Amino acid sequence: MEYTALYRRYRPRRFDEIRGQDHVVAALRNAVREDRVHHAYLLSGPRGTGKTSAARILAKALNCTSPADGEPCCECESCVAIDAGRSFDLHELDAASNNKVDDIRDLLAKVALGTPGRTKVYLLDEVHMLTQGAENALLKTLEEPPGHVVFVLATTEPHKVVETIRSRSQHLELGLLSAGELASLVADVVVDAGLDVDEEGQAHAVRAGRGSARDALSALDRAVAGGSTSDDSTTADLLAALAGSDATAALGAVASGISRGREPRVLGEALLSALRDAFLVRMGVPPEQLSDDDRSRAESFAVSLPPATITRALEVLGIALVDMRRAPDPRVDLEIALVRLTAANDGAPLTSPTDSAVVDDLVRRVEQLEQVLAEGRPAGVPAAAPPPVPPKRSRSGPAARARETLASRGAPEPAAEAKSEPPAEAAPAPATAVATGDLPDRDALALAWGDEVLARLSKRAKARFAIGRFTEVVDGVAVLALPNKPHLMRCTELVGEVEGALAEQFGVAVPIRLVVDEGATRPPQRRGDGKSATETISKDAADEDDESIDPGELVDADAAVGSAVERISEAFPGVSVVESD
């Protein structure tokens, strides 16, 4: 006698035999009872939850000669023919293999033909596999089929079904069965079929089903045929290895599982599912499909590790499963992921109490580095007071027009210098203290200035300070002389950089005070080419500095400062300036 698989023998034949889908059953049965059947239905849900069974029962109810309260009688010729698969009122088409335009056109060409029953039902399984052309060919007929035709579309991936088809159908979603519903189904089948399966075998079928009625009955068939219901302990061993941060045990569990014939990807998916169960249990929302044994295992593992560690394990293992698709040896990716998870703290348990201290120390160090980068100072050097911010310079005004005129006519010859002013001193900028000790003398500063210190400066600072010279060291402050007061003011904002270079050179903080060089007013010595050394240095410095000057930063000078009226007033004391009417 031919043996029929349990999931086929115990396929639901009436709406009230469908388990765990009360909302779908109510919608279809009420539609039949009240004669409000929609012209197209879209049934979606995981595998083995009753999509095809619901479509066949709907076809029987629509063509049954003596329906009762929306249920088929399952005894008339139409019901028996549909159960036997020889009815002309139900046409089933696998859209996964018949997904071309020609297949759909051939189907649509027969839609208008009559059948022995009242209603012709077309069942398109895995409808998301249709090609774009086939979907377009189906749209018009799906929207306005003949009055005696009903379309039932089934899919496990409704998000892949185009919106134009979903909008023309009444969408009903089927869900996974709970562990209690599966246990009741398995127990009823065991009693009705007279199977010799103990409680351990039934529990194994429920665990293997994981919410799918078909998978649970298939697992029950295996238990009956094989006579053994012992579960593979690889997943439990892997969870124990993760909880104890034991890389050796994890790799041994993988080797044991593979030796039993399980693929590395199957082992990874089983571990990922167990980690998800533990995470949901720890968060207080355990899945309804968990059996009692799986729930106990998930609770035990969830207690041993914090949620953050379980989340990290889910991420690492998920990435490894994605990489395994392209890997020449998927086992390597799984083993590397397990070693990373178990050896995260060099063999220390992942629940080590030092984790928080390590994290706090890393956060503190990162904050220090961010502060150093924000201040623009070398690491390990205390923060110095910010340099004075120079005023913004205008792009228009007399100074701008003068610059344009000079640029067009060429720079004028240096005029005779006016009477030297008393030395003007700038307030010393705060030094960047590196270490305490004796300051170098003037000669040491002068020797190191041109060869060592200037080389440490930026291009901008080097151009401005190249003309300076150290004159003395007084009261712990090095005096740096510059040719004139405007040049001194421009150098003030970069004093901190020079002090940093000096501190790096001599190992001690060297505060600097900028002054105007009194010897700058003396006639400079001429070289053989007719130019003074001062002019040559000034020109070279200006050439280098021009590259770092933003013309937009220039401002107009005060019209009264340095003008001819001011110079005359200085030459003839006591005169008064009379403003013209």
Regarding whether 71 and 195 lie in a shared domain, the answer is no
Q: Is residue 204 part of a domain?
A: yes
Look at strands 90-94 and 120-125 and give their pairing. Answer: parallel
Query: Starting from the edge strand earliest in sequence, which strands make up the sheet with 469-474, in order?
Result: 469-474, 477-482, 512-516
Task: Indicate the average pLDDT of the chain.
Answer: 78
> Are 244 and 260 part of one and the same domain?
yes
Among the residue ranges 150-154, 414-418, 515-519, the one predicted with the least confidence is: 414-418
Instruction: Assess contact for 232 and 266: CB atoms under 8 A.
Output: no
Determine the pLDDT at residue 424.
44
The pLDDT tens digits for 272-290 are 988 988 888 888 887 777 7
Average pLDDT over residues 366-392: 59
Q: Give the CATH number, domain containing residue 19.
A: 3.40.50.300
Higher pLDDT, 381 or 263: 263
What pLDDT score does 476 carry?
A: 82
Q: Establish if 414 belongs to a structural domain.
A: no
Q: How many domains does the chain divide into? A: 4
Q: What percent of the chain has pLDDT over 90?
A: 24
The first and second tokens of residue 530, run together, are 């007719």
Label residue 18 by pLDDT band (50, 70, 90). Answer: very high
287 within domain boundaries: yes
pTM exceeding the 0.85 threshold for the entire prediction: no
Assess if residue 94 is contained within a domain. Answer: yes
Least confident range from 196-205, 244-253, 415-424: namely 415-424
Q: What is the mean pLDDT of residues 547-565?
A: 53
User: Which region among 159-163, 257-261, 535-539 has the lowest average model confidence (pLDDT)?
Assistant: 535-539
Using the 3D structure, point to which of 173, 189, 214 is the last residue of a domain: 173
Beta carbons within 8 Å of 452's beta carbon, 6+ residues apart:
505
**Do 106 and 238 have their domain in common?**
no
pLDDT higher than 60, residue 407: no
pLDDT in tens, 288-341: 777 777 788 888 888 888 888 888 899 999 999 999 988 889 899 999 999 998
State the pLDDT at residue 333: 92
- Print the domain residue range for 280: 234-342
In this predicted structure, the answer to whether residue 416 has a pLDDT above a threshold of 50 is: no
Q: Are residues 221 and 115 in the same domain?
A: no
Encode pLDDT of 525-553 as tens digits.
444 444 444 444 444 444 444 444 555 55
Residue 400: pLDDT over 70: no
> Given the DSSP bridges, would you call strands 90-94 and 512-516 parallel, antiparallel or unpaired?
unpaired
Query: CB–CB of 5/216 below 8 Å?
Result: no
d(Cα 509, Cα 431) in Å, to the nearest integer? 7
Residues 6 or more apart in contact with residue 157 via CB below 8 angstroms: 44, 128
Is the per-residue pLDDT at 153 higher than 70?
yes
Residue 222 has pLDDT above 70, yes or no: yes
Whether residue 1 is contained in a domain is answered as no
In a domain, 53, yes or no: yes
249 plus 190 within the same structural domain: no
Q: What are phi and psi of 365, to 5 degrees?
A: -65, -40
Residues 124 and 222 in one domain: no
Cβ-based neighbours of 549, under 8 Å, separated by 6 or more: none
**pLDDT value at position 418?**
38
Within 13 Å, how many C-alpha atoms sit on residue 151's CB side? Answer: 27
Q: Answer whether residue 109 shows pLDDT above 90.
A: no
The CATH number covering residue 244 comes to 1.20.272.10
Place of tokens 């712990």: 476
Task: Kindly report the number of other CB atoms within 10 A of residue 493's CB atom.
Answer: 17
- The pLDDT, as a whole number, for residue 408 is 56
Find the mean pLDDT for residues 498-519. Answer: 84
Looking at the chain, the whole-number percentage of residues with pLDDT higher than 70 is: 74
Higher pLDDT among residues 156 and 422, named by residue: 156
Note whether 244 and 272 are same-domain residues: yes
11 and 124 part of one domain: yes
Query: Cα(533)–Cα(539) distance, rounded to whole angstroms?
Result: 10
Residue 429 within any structural domain of the chain: yes
**pLDDT at residue 342 is higher than 90:** no
**Any domain includes 541:** yes
Predicted pLDDT of residue 99: 80
pLDDT at 404 (0 to 100): 62
What residue spans of 421-532 are helical by DSSP H?
Answer: 442-448, 454-456, 459-465, 485-492, 495-506
**In a shared domain, residues 203 and 270:** no
Same domain, 209 and 255: no
pLDDT at 378: 53
For residues 18-24, give the mean pLDDT.
91
State whether 254 and 198 are in the same domain: no
Q: What is the pLDDT of residues 477-503, one digit of tens each?
A: 888 888 888 888 888 888 888 888 888
Confidence of residue 430 (pLDDT cuts 50, 70, 90): very low
In this structure, are 87 and 158 located in the same domain? yes
